[in-house]
A and B are shown apart, each in its own frame.
Chain A
């Protein structure tokens, strides 16, 4: 049930089409927060009922469970449309983003970090392929996942992720500041990114080229005074230039979930290490020393047959200790 003040906001935003980014000050100054007339209240109730029929709920900036961090940001949305597990709003939140073309190893790392962080935080991310997908894959099984869309909740961008969106709505939560039926526009991604940063205590950037949406999110996080984390990259990888730039200007370098958890003073349980057998140990050692290596050169240097090396690398991949990075090359994780 919504209070009369909340209804006033819903009336102004959802019925009258007030700018959702107008700000809290506007809300107080413009006399939005007044008692609604009977007709206005009926219209508001009808709008709420229509949304509820679609399985959506509304959170206004005056609602009790409106995320405190977001409310304290400089330009919070006045009204949020949500679908899924509303309780996630009041949990601790952490944002993981990355560009759409995230390299394989960063995808694997992102997924693993998301999975481990999801035990302590609700993971906040978008719905695109690449970095967003890595975060979703990692956090979705536990359900601690909020996906913020740049369009109305009944539409989906990119369209191919429609089924993914529905799964998140069922297990986690999808949020948007846009009313149903509104498509994604170029600028709506920028506005969406401010919500990603605003909701979260910190932002981890998995990958970002020199100019990338993930960097915008990171910059908004800096504006809001949130913590910024980034994966480190070696020289010459386009998708890592933004991350390295962030680290240079003071972002925290992250290689595992422990880095983030210990930053927030959260103790982690010691994980049991996977058993490494036979040649796998030698290969892992080699990969750690040489970095990314081709199967052939690895096999030659270690004096193994090619197919023995492939089999052992496959084993390491299955145990989550190495990953195929493309072109028959492998890297340690």
Chain B
């Protein structure tokens, strides 16, 4: 008898339906698998055999053929185990009366018959739902992840015998209750701007950066709280919408880094170490491509501490995703595109010893050393960082002062207001924030007054700004004007924008 069971394979963030067909025939006992299974899928033979036996079910001693369709797609991972087991049971007539049509089975089996969680459940569920499936049996440990799927019958099962009892109607599993998405439900309250002492200028730059979606670079001596400032970035960013949260959760689910909450409710903050390779940053792998740090930071912040310490090739690889908001990686197993729209926040010391430019401490670096240090960051990368700000040396008084600073929530309110203005401005286009403006939008939305233009001209001469700096200054000035709720870009906005350019000056 032949049985047909639906399962799902992942291709990037896209789920692809796979039919598992089992044929149990008379003949010399054998067990064959066809349809491009990889090693992990082939090994399921032994898992399925033991799981059936240990669940009190029979493993048919017949001639067994398992086929995966479509036959030309490579099947990888252990998520097919449950589907294979069910198809065998169905084909060997052990599931009489059970209706397995239109149910998607997902899960890895343990030898005891328990069902283990799988990676990438949410993207599979979302794809399957869009393909018209509405009944799912999933590992119980993945249940949280499925709670935000919306209208669908999702049955969490902890073991194979539970599934069998459910299917034959002996002991139905209650479907999981869906949850309403609440942004920031699982916020870890450790970072907040109110704990950042001093640093008025860096705080302001941070506000502007988030308001306009600009990338930012902080330069300052070691131990001045650059990292702490950066950690506050997600707390002032606008709350996640459900769609954003789902998209981020999909990526995290595929990468297997999803926490217990089942959904990402807070903007991600990723801090890859400076020894990170290009592959770990951008994504890659042997056959299937895992999302890299830039994709995990999608919708949130990618923080690169000590920017010049990163490998140059790794930094250069960031340029294209910074521009396009996604990354395409090609491997033997196929070509995968992952979203990667993140805010880049970087920090660096002004020189190798950290004291360059400080008036109270002497820098012991030679000019050549400083040059070499700064040259590690290429011009094209700096081009994509709109705000560059110096972080102050903290004094003892700052650390002990009682008056607490403004908290993240009030900064977030101003950011939200500025974002609202931008949403209205870019209505109907693919742009969301000022930082994404191209030359066309700049001309359309950022007309300078005659006075403002003269200021910029003077600034170029006096501060020897590079020509590329012009567009960035205008974009930042636009954001500052938005924060000020000002329709036109006034001279003071331009002046302030100019003050956030550190590395353009001669």
B363 within 8 A of A: yes
Q: A296-B201, A310-B201, A318-B495 are in contact. Are A329 and B371 (CB under 8 A)?
A: no
B162 within 8 A of A: no
Q: Are B495 and A326 in contact (CB under 8 A)?
A: no
- With A and B bound together, what is the CA distance between A290 and B201 in angstroms? 20
Q: A160-B371, A310-B499, A328-B392 are in contact. Are A317 and B359 (CB under 8 A)?
A: no
Footprint of A on B, CB under 8 Å? 198, 200-201, 204, 220, 350, 356-359, 362-363, 366-368, 371, 390, 392-393, 455, 458-459, 462-463, 480, 491-493, 495-496, 498-499, 506
- With A and B bound together, what is the CA distance between A160 and B366 in angstroms? 14
- With A and B bound together, what is the CA distance between A46 and B358 in angstroms? 55
Of B356, B393, B499, B506, the residue contacting A311 (CB under 8 A) is B499
Interface string of A122-141 (1 = CB under 8 A from B): 00000001100000010000
A292 within 8 A of B: yes
Number of interface residues of A (CB under 8 A): 34
Q: A294-B392, A306-B200, A308-B492 are in contact. Are A329 and B499 (CB under 8 A)?
A: no
Q: Are B367 and A100 in contact (CB under 8 A)?
A: yes
Q: Could you jot down 10 A-B contacts, CB within 8 Å?
A: A100-B367, A101-B363, A158-B368, A311-B496, A315-B495, A317-B498, A318-B458, A325-B359, A327-B393, A328-B201
Closest-CB distance, A296 to chain B (whole angstroms)? 5
A237 within 8 A of B: yes
Q: Are A295 and B201 in contact (CB under 8 A)?
A: yes
Residues of A within 8 A of B458 (CB): 318-319
Closest-CB distance, B355 to chain A (whole angstroms)? 10
Q: Are A307 and B204 in contact (CB under 8 A)?
A: yes
Footprint of B on A, CB under 8 Å? 100-101, 103-104, 129-130, 137, 158, 160, 237-238, 292, 294-296, 299, 306-308, 310-315, 317-320, 325-329
Q: Are B362 and A317 in contact (CB under 8 A)?
A: no
Q: Are A318 and B357 in contact (CB under 8 A)?
A: no
- With A and B bound together, what is the CA distance between A306 and B392 in angstroms? 14
- With A and B bound together, what is the CA distance between A312 and B496 in angstroms? 8
Chain A minimum-CB-distance residue to B207: A307
Chain B minimum-CB-distance residue to A104: B357
Residues of B within 8 A of A100 (CB): 366-367
- With A and B bound together, what is the CA distance between A328 and B393 in angstroms? 10
Of A312, A318, A326, A328, the residue contacting B455 (CB under 8 A) is A318
The 4 nearest A-B residue pairs measured at CB: A326-B357, A311-B495, A311-B496, A314-B499
Q: Are B359 and A318 in contact (CB under 8 A)?
A: no
Q: Are A326 and B358 in contact (CB under 8 A)?
A: yes
* Extra A-B contacts (19), CB below 8 Å, given A306-B200, A307-B204: A101-B367, A103-B359, A137-B506, A238-B362, A292-B359, A296-B200, A310-B204, A311-B495, A318-B495, A320-B462, A326-B350, A326-B357, A326-B358, A327-B357, A327-B358, A327-B390, A327-B392, A328-B201, A329-B359
